[in-house]
Structure 1
C-alpha cells in the first residue's frame, strides 16, 4: 500500500482491514490464462497477498469475448465478484450507470492518479459524470506484427522491415512449408488485425475520421479500399493457420512454423516465457513498419459494490496497489504491456517494449477502438470480420460496403 493511501485510510474507520487479524479475501476475475499472462497476474496476486489480505483467483478460460458476458451476468445476477478485469472504454458503462460499481474517486485523488496516469485518456475512460470507477493497469497496443527469424532464415529471405516486404516474402515462406501469417479464428483476433491494418495502411487521420467521428463516407474512399484488399490478401496468407487461440498462433511464430502474426503487445509475454530474445529470435514492427503509431487501450479493474465495509476497504486497497510503482513495473514487464504510470523506471525492458515507450513519449498515439464503439457496434464488426476471414467468397468490396453501413449506424 502506498504512503498516500495509508494516509487516506488512516482517516477512516476502515484502517483495520489491512491488518492480518481482519484480513479479507477478494475474488478477482480476469481472462489472463495464457502462459505469459498467468505469470504476469501472479505479480498482482503476490503484492495483494503481502498486505495480509488474500487474492482469490477467478481466472476464466478463453478470451475477453468469452469472459465478459460471464462477468457481466454475475454482476447483474446479484453474485458479483469483488474485482474484475475489463478493458478501458465503454464495457462497464451501463453497470456504472446502474449504480453497481464502486466509486474510486477518493482513492484516485489520494493517490494522485490524474498526475501519474499517462495518457490521460485512460483515466477518462474510467470516468463517468466526473467520478472515477476503475483503476487502469496497463497500456496494450494492438499495432504490432511479430516476425520469426527462424521462419525467414529457413525460407532463405531477409526478415521484412514493413508490411509490403512481408507480403513479398510470403511465397518463399510457403515454398519452405511455412504458414505466412498465423491467425487464430476468434472474432476479436480478426477484428483487431483489421484495425491494425487500417491504422497502418489508411493512416491515423483516416482511421480517426471513421472510428472516432463515425464518418461512413470515408469508409467508401480509396484508403479503406486498400485496407480491405490488404485484409483479403492476409486472409489468403492465414488460410492454413488452423489454430483457434491467439497464443497458439503466437507459438507458431515462436517455433518458426509461421512467418508472422498481427497481434497486440501481450504477445511479448509468450516470447519471454519461451526464452526468446527480441532482435535475436524475433522482430516486432509497430504499425506494421508503415505508420509507427500505437493505440492506448488496455486493461482496467472495476470493483462491483459490496454491502460490507471491510470488503470495500480491501477493494480500495487493491485499487491503489495496482497502480503502485513497484507493482506496475513487475506486472508490465511480464505482461509485455506498457505501464500507465509515466514516472516508473523501465530501463530493463526489452527492445520491443522500448520501441513502444519511445512512440508513447513521442505522442504518436491513438485511443483504442474499445474507447470509441459501444459493445453492440463492436459485436457487429466482429461478426463481419469472422464471416470475411472464414469465407473467401466475400469480396473485399462487399465487406467494405457492409463495414460502411455499420459505421453509419454506430453508437
Structure 2
C-alpha cells in the first residue's frame, strides 16, 4: 500500500494514470541551467539520444533546486510525473516512501553498481535495498581554500590542525589582512561548522551527531568543544561577512584580500574562471584536522514509476549513461566535482580534483566518508533547519554559551524528528 504522508493524497492518482509522452521520449527535470552544468546536461542529452531515445528537457532554474522540487511535487500530484528528476540525499527516501519511484536494480545489477560505488554512497541511492537513483558526481565539502601570497606576507604556514589554524590566523590578522573570508548565511555557517566538528571530534562522533542524531552526542562536552572552536573563527572574519554570498568570499581569496575560506569544491570554479591555477595561485587543502575524512554532497537522478515499457527502457539507458565512465568524466570536469564511480581515470583532472578523488577512495575504505549535514545529505530538511538555526544563533550571539547551544540543538533536533 502506498504511503501518502508527505506529498499529498493526489499522488495516489499518479500511479494510475498513463503518461501522455511518446514512447522513448524521456522527460528529465533538473536545475542545472548555467555554465558548466548546462554544458554537461547537453552532453548527457547527446549520449542518451545516441542510444535511440529522445530527451525532453525540463529545466527549472533558481533556488538551488527548491523551485524544481515545488514543480516536481505538483507534477506528481497531478498524475504527470517526469521520467527522471534531479533529487538528492534523504529526499530520495521520502519519495521512495511515497511509492512512486521505479526500481532500477536490473541495470544496477547488470553493471555491478555495488562494486562501482562506496557502500555509504550506494545506500543513499537505494530504497528498501533496491536502487531507485543513480549518482552523478561527488562534491567534497570539507575544503579549505588559501591564498599563498597572503600566507607569505604574514610569514604563516597553511594549517593542518585547528591549533595550527589559530596560529596562522593570528599572524595574518597581525599583518593587517583578513584571515578568513566568510559569508554570514546559515548554510555557510553550517558548512564551516561541520568541518570543525569533523576536524575536532572525528568521523565516529560526526556520524553519531549528524547522521544518527544521537541526543547524547548533540548535547555533549565534545559538541561544546566544537562550538567553542567554531565561534573563535569569527574574530578572524571582516565586518562585511554578514549576508555575503559565498562566491564573493571566494573572490576575497582570489584578490589576496583574505587568507582562507571554508567551502565545498564548487568554489574551484571561481578560481578557474579567474584564470588561477591550483598549487600556484591558490591552495586547496582539507579543512584542519580532516585530511583523512571526507564530507560528501552528491547530485543524483531518480526514476519515476511509469506505466510505459518503452519509457522504462529509456530510464534504464539514462541511468546507465549517467554512471558511464565517459559521462562521469565530462560532467565532473565541467562541474568541478569528481566522479562517483570508483576507479575513474583522473588523468584530465586538476591537482585539487586528484587529491579529492584520492581522499574519497581512502575515506571509503576506512569508514571516514560521511554525508554533509550542511548540504542536505545526512538529514531531512526539517532536522537540518533545526541545526542551522541553533548554529547561526550561537555564532551571531555571544551571549549564548556553547553549553546552552548544544542543549538547544539536541532539543531542536528531537522536536524536528518527532514530526517526521
Normalising TM by the smaller chain, what interval? Answer: 0.7 to 0.9
How far off its partner does 1:346 sit?
1.1
After TM superposition, the structure 1 stretch with the greater mean CA deviation from structure 2, 302-311 or 271-280, is 302-311
After TM superposition, the structure 1 stretch with the greater mean CA deviation from structure 2, 40-49 or 54-63, is 40-49
Alpha-carbon spacing, 1:290–1:374, altered in 2? closer, same or farther (3 Å):
closer
Paired with 1:164 and 1:64, the residues of 2 have a C-alpha distance of: 37
- Could you list the runs of 5+ residues in structure 1 that have no partner in the other structure? 1-20
Asked if the contact 1:140–1:266 (Cα under 8 Å) also holds between the matched residues in 2, the reply is: yes
Paired with 2:268 and 2:46, the residues of 1 have a C-alpha distance of: 22
After TM superposition, the structure 1 stretch with the greater mean CA deviation from structure 2, 149-158 or 395-404, is 149-158
Asked if the contact 1:87–1:300 (Cα under 8 Å) also holds between the matched residues in 2, the reply is: yes
Alpha-carbon spacing, 1:409–1:268, altered in 2? closer, same or farther (3 Å):
same
Asked if the contact 2:29–2:84 (Cα under 8 Å) also holds between the matched residues in 1, the reply is: yes
1:8-407 equivalent positions in 2, closer than 5 A: 24=25, 26-30=27-31, 32=32, 35=35, 37-51=37-51, 53-54=54-55, 56=57, 58-64=59-65, 67-88=68-89, 90-117=90-117, 119-153=118-152, 155=154, 157-174=156-173, 178-238=177-237, 239-362=239-362, 363-364=365-366, 365-368=368-371, 369=373, 370=376, 372-407=378-413
Asked if the contact 1:36–1:272 (Cα under 8 Å) also holds between the matched residues in 2, the reply is: no
Asked if the contact 2:386–2:413 (Cα under 8 Å) also holds between the matched residues in 1, the reply is: no
- Could you list the runs of 5+ residues in structure 2 that have no partner in the other structure? 1-21
Paired with 2:244 and 2:304, the residues of 1 have a C-alpha distance of: 31
Paired with 1:244 and 1:305, the residues of 2 have a C-alpha distance of: 41
Asked if the contact 1:36–1:273 (Cα under 8 Å) also holds between the matched residues in 2, the reply is: no
Asked if the contact 1:215–1:407 (Cα under 8 Å) also holds between the matched residues in 2, the reply is: no
1:302-332 CA-partner distances (Å, limit 9, x unpaired): 1234454444432322111000111111212
Alpha-carbon spacing, 1:248–1:315, altered in 2? closer, same or farther (3 Å):
farther
How far off its partner does 1:178 sit?
4.3
Paired with 1:237 and 1:79, the residues of 2 have a C-alpha distance of: 51
Paired with 2:202 and 2:230, the residues of 1 have a C-alpha distance of: 15
Asked if the contact 2:165–2:288 (Cα under 8 Å) also holds between the matched residues in 1, the reply is: no
Alpha-carbon spacing, 1:340–1:293, altered in 2? closer, same or farther (3 Å):
same
Give TM-score scaled by structure 2 length: 0.80
Paired with 2:248 and 2:37, the residues of 1 have a C-alpha distance of: 13
1:268-297 CA-partner distances (Å, limit 9, x unpaired): 333333332221111122242455211344
Asked if the contact 1:381–1:406 (Cα under 8 Å) also holds between the matched residues in 2, the reply is: yes
Alpha-carbon spacing, 1:161–1:408, altered in 2? closer, same or farther (3 Å):
same
After TM superposition, the structure 1 stretch with the greater mean CA deviation from structure 2, 243-252 or 317-326, is 243-252
How far off its partner does 1:229 sit?
0.8
Alpha-carbon spacing, 1:250–1:213, altered in 2? closer, same or farther (3 Å):
same
Alpha-carbon spacing, 1:262–1:67, altered in 2? closer, same or farther (3 Å):
farther
1:214-244 CA-partner distances (Å, limit 9, x unpaired): 3322334332222101211223434522554
How far off its partner does 1:58 sit?
0.7
Alpha-carbon spacing, 1:383–1:310, altered in 2? closer, same or farther (3 Å):
farther
Instruction: Give the equivalent residue in structure 2 for 1:5.
Output: none
How far off its partner does 1:336 sit?
2.7
Q: Which runs of 4+ in 1 moved over 6 A?
A: none
How far off its partner does 1:34 sit?
6.3
Q: Secondary structure at the match of 2:85?
A: strand
Paired with 2:79 and 2:326, the residues of 1 have a C-alpha distance of: 34
Q: Secondary structure at the match of 1:241?
A: coil
Alpha-carbon spacing, 1:273–1:93, altered in 2? closer, same or farther (3 Å):
same
Alignment root-mean-square deviation, CA:
3.1
Asked if the contact 2:220–2:406 (Cα under 8 Å) also holds between the matched residues in 1, the reply is: no
1:175-221 CA-partner distances (Å, limit 9, x unpaired): 66644323334433322321111001112222233234433223343
Alpha-carbon spacing, 1:25–1:83, altered in 2? closer, same or farther (3 Å):
closer
Give TM-score scaled by structure 1 length: 0.82
Alpha-carbon spacing, 1:407–1:334, altered in 2? closer, same or farther (3 Å):
same
Alpha-carbon spacing, 1:236–1:307, altered in 2? closer, same or farther (3 Å):
farther
How far off its partner does 1:109 sit?
2.1
